[in-house]
Amino acid sequence: MTIAPSLLSSSSSASQFLPRFPTAARFNVAASRSRAVTVVAASVTDLSSVDSTTIAVLGGGSVAALATIVSLTDPERRRKLQAEEVGGGDKEVVREYFNSTGFERWRKIYGETDEVNRVQKDIRIGHAKTVEKTMLMLTEEGSLAGVTVCDAGCGTGLLSIPLAKEGAIVSASDISAAMVAEAEMKAKQQLASENLPRFEVNDLESLSGKYNTVVCLDVLIHYPQSKADGMIAHLASLAEKRVILSFAPKTFYYDILKRIGELFPGPSKATRAYLHSEADVENALRKVGWRISKRGLITTQFYFSRLIEAVPM
């Protein structure tokens, strides 16, 4: 789940590395000697609590000042404590979160209920755009009827169900049993029995089989690049024609916002959030004989995601 403020257009060049604060970052300068500056920033680790995320910074409001503040914190310590509580590393944290608090939160975001705040609604729109652009990538070269597709990290089925409606033979999986159950329920409500995806509870590294296309949307944010490399390689080994990935791109500005968000994880602990540079993802694909053929960038106010399609060299 790529979850962070997006301020930059896809056509920006050097500007994408220069910090600019959006509507999501409101500065209220008090008429005092210290000029207290309050910054409201979206938390990459728990966007649903962003409305209450505030940071008081004395003196100017530059990104350099924010970088100094976050450099004094230790979000990695909180991450290690999370892992210890569930008896494992990133994978165990992700599984625990999306089978409990995270499931309720993201089912609401991915659903159609009006019981969402402004940030949650914006994330819903952003993720829907990612699904829409993915479907365009998949259908622009022809019909999906009979095409085998692996939806790795299917969540509540927002991609799996449209794929099945287009006639694809879909294998959908997620590390969260709660998410899989929700996706399967929704699929049965919208699809004929013969078109239902095959759902299973599984992590990315344990997936097997061969598919025309493998898709993995908004999952890599939960894993560091050291683990993402192996995941990308494994997903590519399952695909015959193409791999489609989305991830939160790593830039100086987005990294600072992520660190700020980590200071305030909200009332419920969220998963760890990792940004990935496009060069690192491209290098991981190249190592296993794949190249990027298409690129896209999906941005809303609180959501940003790099979308790529890779094909064998």
Is 173 a member of any domain?
A: yes
Number of domains in the chain: 1
Is 251 a member of any domain?
A: yes
List Cβ neighbours of 140 (8 Å cut-off, separation of 6 or more). none
pLDDT at 53 over 70: no
Is 248 a member of any domain?
A: yes
CATH number of 263's domain: 3.40.50.150
pLDDT at 188: 97
Report the alpha-carbon distance of residue 231 to residue 165 in Å, rounded.
Answer: 28
Residue that wins the pLDDT comparison between 149 and 41 = 149
Is 51 a member of any domain?
A: no
Which one, of 94, 82, 47, 60, lies nearest residue 260 by Cα?
47
Tens of pLDDT, residues 57-115:
323 344 454 444 444 444 455 555 444 444 456 788 888 888 887 788 888 888 888 88
Query: Do 174 and 153 contact (CB within 8 A), yes or no?
Result: yes
Is 24 a member of any domain?
A: no
H/E element holding 293?
strand 290-299
Report the alpha-carbon distance of residue 272 to residue 94 in Å, rounded.
Answer: 8
Q: Which domain range does residue 307 map to?
A: 101-312
pLDDT at 61: 43
Report the alpha-carbon distance of residue 176 to residue 235 in Å, rounded.
Answer: 18
Tens of pLDDT, residues 177-189:
999 999 999 999 9
pTM here is 0.72
**Mean pLDDT along residues 32-56:** 33
Which one, of 267, 207, 269, lies nearest residue 233 by Cα?
207
Is 93 a member of any domain?
A: no
Is 190 a member of any domain?
A: yes
Is 162 a member of any domain?
A: yes
